[in-house]
A = this chain, B = another copy of it.
Amino acid sequence: MYALGTHLLVELKECNPKIISNLKEVQNILINAAKVAEATIIEVAFHEFNPFGISGMVVIAESHLSIHTWPEYGYAAVDIFTCGSVLKPDKAVAYLIKEFQCKNPSVVEVKRGIISPDNKKLPHKINGDEFGNEQEQAATVLSSNHNYS
């Protein structure tokens, strides 16, 4: 169904512990994953935890990528949340699997923001002039949506 966002929940087991415990490497790999997906990077925030484990976020114009690593278990949890139909999050996943030397990956794709009850494709951005009208339309959609719940 049509959704405002596509969210990939990426479970990366059996990664190379040395790679996913290295702050610089993890940061570079997630930034490059965003580039591979053809996303526009807006902000990057990474942190290393004591004694080990890395959390990182890449805010993109089309939503975000995040990572949390548990080097002691060879595990990394990655999320790739995108909107629009231009990006290539699947390519980012393949890149991450390769770079983390992950031997046991799995991915769940979740649609986020299925807001049209009649499965109508909705633009994820509209221009400012239409805001008032669109708000009314959205209210109508949401109201009828509510009737289905």
Please give the residue numbers on chain A whose beta carbons come within 8 Å of chain B beta carbons, in ascending order. 4-5, 7, 9, 11, 13-14, 17, 42-43, 45, 47, 49, 51-53, 55, 57, 59, 61, 63-64, 66, 68, 70-75, 77, 79, 81, 83, 103-104, 108, 110, 112-113, 115, 122, 124-128, 131, 134-135, 138-139, 141-142, 145-146, 149
Contacts and interface: CB of A to CB of B under 8 A. Distances in A.
A142 to B, nearest CB: 5
A131 B55 contact: no
Nearest to A79: B79
13 contacts: A7-B77, A13-B115, A14-B146, A17-B135, A42-B55, A45-B57, A52-B131, A64-B68, A72-B134, A72-B138, A73-B115, A74-B135, A104-B145
B59 A113 contact: no
A53 to B, nearest CB: 7
A122 B68 contact: no
Nearest to A138: B73
Please list the 9 inter-chain residue pairs (A to B) with the smallest Cβ-Cβ separation, ordered nearest first: A51-B128, A73-B138, A77-B112, A72-B134, A43-B45, A57-B57, A14-B142, A75-B113, A73-B115
A96 to B, nearest CB: 15
A142 B45 contact: no
A45 B73 CA distance: 29
